[in-house]
Structure 1
């Protein structure tokens, strides 16, 4: 039995996007954007959406909150993922730089982690108003459509997302990175991308997406072959592919 109603959570995410994010899209004032770290922007939409989501999700199922913006000021909150119990992991605006520059490639991401295991994940794409949902063992869905990763194909037919082009770029059809891990995951489970490689493993970027990808039939692992868990905060590298065979072909090519 589900710990929460996934459609209720999806509606909460959609409401937060409609109230706090979309009205600010292409409408941000200079004072509503700042650089929290070099090359890392935060906007008023990030801050207000995280506040709304934190409150509403705790009403659905009480637990700790690990949100990207909250962690910025209270990094000790990250330790909740290392303890038993319920944790809501929130990225209020994944792809903030895209959002701030009027690029629609941004998303709202939520994961439900219980006792260190990601039990459910949501990626909401606010501009088209679509949400991908996965529950552990229940598949990945967008509305009534069950999602599947691409079939395994030859390297020369693969498209991927990587930060460093390196050797893999010479062996596959094309590679790119467009500023939103959430959209990379959406592209993986809708067949636009075959593989993706990530070096920064913050839980709000990957907990939901890794589950969604697995539930859509994909194969993902750390570069040493171990399983990803949301307790991994930044160390290591993650590779996702349509299946284990293609993962093993791609892994030696990643720089």
Structure 2
């Protein structure tokens, strides 16, 4: 495993995302991931699976202190009291007395970000939360959040993959010692048939998906939380640390495309 270090904290470069995982599928995926060596798990109040994530962690042989655990505030829990109440509920569901990271899930114009951050600061001061951050904030909103927060913003969790150019945000995070957490690193499946990624993968004996994930985590101070359910996919995602992409390959893989990004999002929302 490789780690990103920001604000003096080491975070596993590869974690497990749990969006759209529910019930036994979620619990089994988290349990298998921990068994295989994952030590970074990402969930959210809006996912409706915190109980399953908590049960998997509590039932594993891995100490809670060895797992970097993240959850996110649902949109309706952004006012001061809602932040405190819902976080206590999340802690109970996750069977833990603290979160490593609590995020604002999406920008919300109805409640001032400052109010939400003030409540999150109280949680840090009480020891219930180690670090706070945001998700789906662009550079301007991230900058505003950093100005409003009385404790450091630890991360911005955003969509990041070879088709989604986050250069400005990456540069900003690097300057200000903020972690970038990449979700949907496979472009909602769009990278799996990409000819460039397949060609590079053949050179390294890897799949297009593994190349895409390697491209993401090879950026400094970037970690990623791809969703996976089967043991095979969980194992494959871990096989990123025995090869390295060249600078030329990194440049070739980067193919900013709003059309491909939108196509992937629409595909992910289509019924099975």
Q: Tell me which protein shows more strand as a share of its residues.
A: 1
TM-score range, shorter chain: under 0.3
Higher relative contact order (CA 8 A, sep 6+): 2
Larger helix share, 1 or 2? 2
